[in-house]
Amino acid sequence: MIKVLLDLDTGIDDAMALAYALGSKEIDLIGITGTFGNVYTEEGVQNVLNILNMCNANEIPVYAGETHAITKDHFTRLEVSARIHGENGVGQVEIETSPKKKETQSGVDFIIKSVKKYREELVIVTTGPITNLALALQKAPEIKDMVGKVVIMGGALTVPGNCNAYTEANISQDPEAAKYVFESGLDVTMVGLDVTQRSILTNADTQRWRETGSVAGRTYADMVDYYISQHDVAIKGCYLHDPSAVIHAVHPEYFVMLAMHMTVTTEGEAEGRTIGDPSKLRDPNPNVKVCIGVDSQTLVNDLNEVLLTLFKQN
Ligand code: BDR
Ligand code: CA
């Protein structure tokens, strides 16, 4: 079993990543930190609490993280986020409000505490802006040499961004944080648009979830159908951004990776671009593994199998 800490801006595909972590027999989910992005931090945290309650997983602690990017003093949710994920972040689907509350400790402090407790056993998976992790590293630099592995959903190396030609949404929301994490020397894997747009989930898949007849199965099917409806019809489904990152934590063998020193452009037209660090071209031992290929069929089958097992029980 791998110990996983999820950092989410929940969000429909974040919710799918969460379901995979809950359903996978190979993951011991030690806690969840919330961040801003698809939604405001508090909304995302509430979405996570409601989903955990629906899936009978109230024992997993949930922490609120930062509410805005490192170099900013506020965050305003983008209209496009409300469109893609729905006003409530979960596709306008009603999920019963959890009786459980978030923990009082901050998300950043929970990350620091967890790294010190589990050390190299811990895999941190981030599926939103990487602000919480960057701040944890700044607050407690000693954790840098303790973390097992970090998997981030974000960035685009061999394909254009999804905000503009250069930048992917999670990186664009806090480029400085992403740059800090990439350059920190941590063992980072970048699961970006290069691979997440190659794996497609369809209405036929969600129909199988719905047919489990369970509350979770029906709710997730409705959420993801909404998400699919916001994608270009030519895709015939939705991209698997955040689920790909959590799946990578347990099945790196599904992916083709390229070892690089990565950085992020933090100003100008290309702000938010994830790119090789020109100052480290001759530097050995690159610390970032960039995913550039994926066995999509195996990944989609795995996701469906894990989610169906979870939904049959909830
Ligand atoms: C990323 O942006 C968000 O909308 C998704 O949840 C995902 O984390 C994809 O660019
Ligand atoms: Ca996300």
Domains of the chain (ranges, CATH numbers): 2-313 (3.90.245.10)
Nearest atom in ligand 1 to the alpha carbon of residue 81 is: 4
* The two three-digit tokens of residue 220, written as one number: 């997730």
Enumerate the β-bridge partners of residue 200.
239
Determine the residue type at 154: G
Radius of gyration, CA atoms only, the chain: 18
Ligand 1: nearest atom to the Cα of 85: 4
d(CA 142, CA 213): 48
Which of 16, 20, 38 should be mutated for ligand 1, with most atoms under 8 A from CB?
A: 38
Q: Which helix (H) or strand (E) holds 181?
A: helix 175-182
Distance in Å, CA 170 to ligand 1 centroid? 6
**For the CA of 85, the nearest ligand:** 1
226 token code pair: 């909404």
Per-residue pLDDT of the chain (314 residues; tens, 9 = 90+): 999 999 999 999 999 999 999 999 999 999 999 999 999 999 999 999 999 999 999 999 999 999 999 999 999 999 999 999 999 999 999 999 999 999 999 999 999 999 999 999 999 999 999 999 999 999 999 999 999 999 999 999 999 999 999 999 999 999 999 999 999 999 999 999 999 999 999 999 999 999 999 999 999 999 999 999 999 999 999 999 999 999 999 999 999 999 999 999 999 999 999 999 999 999 999 999 999 999 999 999 999 999 999 999 98
pTM, rounded to two decimals: 0.98
- In this structure, the residues whose C-beta lies within 6 A of any atom of ligand 1 are 11, 13-14, 38, 127-128, 153, 162, 168-170, 241-242
